[in-house]
């Protein structure tokens, strides 16, 4: 465990002297994969790394201490949710996100672009990962009103909490994220889906570029204004959906962009990602982006996708899937995914995964988990989330070690050979 010693050493009294850097320690020959360290004012992140999501400044049902114990190096929260509740000014007063939620390590915030658009437009919370379905620019989930309107200046949206009207612009997103105080922030982008038409993808990409310049300018202004605060790194977000020319143009333009003497500290690969083409799309982008800056693959966290992301040069990942499916009794194991509420586990006194070193697997049985899920006991969410987050965090840690040891291909073949065996249900 890397406990709260980390807290004592740094104790939230950082100046701008402790800033942000990325060191590559090993680059794989024959692929884009690399091993490195992202240094932030709240501590280092050894990469590749999976970053669990605590959307509203909490990983649902799990204490921060337990997240640290299970190996999480950092957490990612969401600017949109924290802006609406409790308000980013509250986090500023509290001393920033990490201190507010008692998390003794680095934090990320998503810019709010995806949430404003996905919640506002009424999409399901999961972006479709299939380009073969219909394409319309005004698609709205069934029975929902359009709650967000995009223009060249920003997005006007209705709160999903109380229906109040709000407006996010690149400047507002930067102000909100500076108040929240995460170590790594993302530029405000227009997040499209695979359903949008090609002309709309082009329009959204041009808009995202114009917004990137405004984010850099406002970020520079706020960094200077908020002197004495720990440096917050800003990542640009690469859009372009499934189109090679658009993805490469976005990576070229944002990779070399400098405004107000400020360039991006790293990059997020965002927007619609066609699962069947994930590796191809990510490699288009990562072949173009500056090698010496970290790359975060937004919203990707299924085991088989993490291998694709790592071997194509992504350094960090986040996804709500591990905790969201845990609350529905679905767990990852080396043999695939299954549901603990299934009656076949009623008298199964083995751990969820006999090879897992997590708190849940070392203390509880499948039969107990089955019982607490059937009884709708709150502890079911806690224990299943601890297992799933540990499974994914450890898997990416193992990929990092395999890259160092030079046996990534073998480790991947071994894992995927077993993981899909029996279950066949490894995808979402």
Question: CA-to-CA distance for 271 and 389, rounded, in angstroms?
Answer: 24
Smallest CA-to-CA distance from 182 within 70, 244, 256, 95 is with 95
Decide if residue 395 touches Zn ion (CB under 5 A). Answer: no
Question: CA-to-CA distance for 122 and 118, rounded, in angstroms?
Answer: 6
CA-based end-to-end distance of the chain? 31
Decide if residue 237 touches Zn ion (CB under 5 A). Answer: no
Looking at beta carbons only, is 215 or 302 nearer to Zn ion? 302
Residue 239, φ and ψ in degrees, nearest 5: -105, -165
DSSP 220-245: HHHHHHTTTSPP-EEEEEE--TT-HH
Decide if residue 356 touches Zn ion (CB under 5 A). Answer: yes
Find the shortest distance in angstroms from Cβ 389 to Zn ion: 9
Q: Which stretch binds Zn ion (CB under 5 A): 210-218, 289-297, 352-360, 399-407?
A: 352-360
Find the shortest distance in angstroms from Cβ 94 to Zn ion: 33
Write the interaction track for Zn ion spanning residues 305-344; mark x where CB under 5 A is met and - where it is not.
Answer: ----------------------------------------
Instruction: Please say if 318 is a catalytic residue.
Output: yes
Residue 89, φ and ψ in degrees, nearest 5: -65, -30
Looking at beta carbons only, is 288 or 326 nearer to Zn ion? 326
Question: CA-to-CA distance for 177 and 184, rounded, in angstroms?
Answer: 9
Q: Which stretch binds Zn ion (CB under 5 A): 147-155, 165-173, 214-222, 380-388?
A: 380-388
Instruction: Please say if 110 is a catalytic residue.
Output: yes
Out of 92, 110, 189, 265, the active site residue is: 110
Among 35, 75, 298, 361, interactor with Zn ion by CB under 5 A: 361
Q: Which residues are 316's β-sheet partners?
A: 49, 296
Decide if residue 387 touches Zn ion (CB under 5 A). Answer: yes
3-state secondary structure of 366: helix
Question: CA-to-CA distance for 371 and 294, rounded, in angstroms?
Answer: 43
Write the interaction track for Zn ion spanning residues 116-145; mark x where CB under 5 A is met and - where it is not.
Answer: ------------------------------
Q: Which residues are marked as active site?
A: 110, 318
* Site residues, Zn ion (CB under 5 A): 356, 358, 360-361, 387
């Amino acid at each position: 465990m890397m406990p709260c010693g980390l807290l004592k050493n740094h104790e939230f009294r950082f100046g701008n002297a402790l800033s942000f850097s990325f060191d590559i320690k090993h680059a794989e020959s024959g692929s884009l994969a690399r091993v490195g360290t992202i240094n932030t004012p709240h501590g280092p992140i050894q990469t590749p790394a999976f970053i669990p999501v605590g959307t509203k400044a909490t990983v649902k049902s799990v204490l921060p201490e337990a997240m640290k114990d299970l190996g999480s190096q950092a957490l990612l929260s969401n600017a949109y949710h924290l802006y609406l509740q409790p308000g980013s000014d509250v986090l500023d007063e509290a001393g920033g996100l990490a201190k507010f939620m008692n998390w003794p390590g680095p934090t990320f915030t998503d810019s709010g672009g995806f949430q404003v658009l996905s919640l506002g437009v009424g999409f399901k919370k999961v972006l479709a990962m299939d380009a073969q379905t219909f394409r319309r620019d005004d698609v709205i989930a069934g029975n929902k009103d359009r709650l967000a309107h995009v223009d060249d200046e920003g997005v006007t949206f209705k709160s999903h909490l109380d229906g109040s009207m709000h407006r996010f612009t690149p400047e507002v997103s930067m102000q909100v994220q500076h108040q929240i105080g995460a170590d790594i922030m993302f530029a405000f982008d227009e997040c499209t889906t695979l359903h949008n038409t090609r002309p709309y993808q082009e329009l959204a990409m041009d808009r995202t570029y114009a917004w990137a310049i405004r984010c850099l300018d406002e970020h520079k202004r706020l960094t200077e204004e908020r002197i004495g605060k720990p440096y917050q790194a800003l990542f640009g977000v690469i859009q372009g959906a499934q189109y090679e020319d658009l993805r490469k143009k976005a990576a070229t333009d944002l990779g070399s962009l400098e405004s107000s003497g400020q360039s991006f500290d790293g990059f997020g690969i965002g927007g619609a990602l066609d699962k069947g083409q994930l590796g191809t799309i990510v490699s288009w982008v990562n072949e173009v982006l500056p090698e010496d800056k970290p790359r975060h693959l937004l919203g990707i966290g299924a085991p088989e996708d993490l291998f694709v992301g790592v071997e194509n040069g992504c350094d960090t990942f986040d996804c709500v899937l591990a905790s969201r499916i845990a609350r529905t009794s679905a767990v990852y194991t080396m043999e695939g995914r299954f549901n603990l509420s299934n009656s076949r586990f009623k008298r199964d006194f083995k751990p969820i995964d006999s090879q897992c070193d997590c708190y849940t697997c070392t203390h509880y049985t499948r039969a107990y988990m089955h019982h607490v899920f059937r009884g709708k006991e709150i502890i079911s969410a806690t224990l299943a989330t601890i297992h799933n987050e540990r499974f994914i965090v450890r898997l990416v840690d193992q990929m990092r070690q395999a890259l160092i040891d030079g046996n990534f291909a073998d480790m991947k073949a071994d894992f995927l050979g077993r993981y899909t065996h029996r279950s066949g249900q490894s995808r979402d």
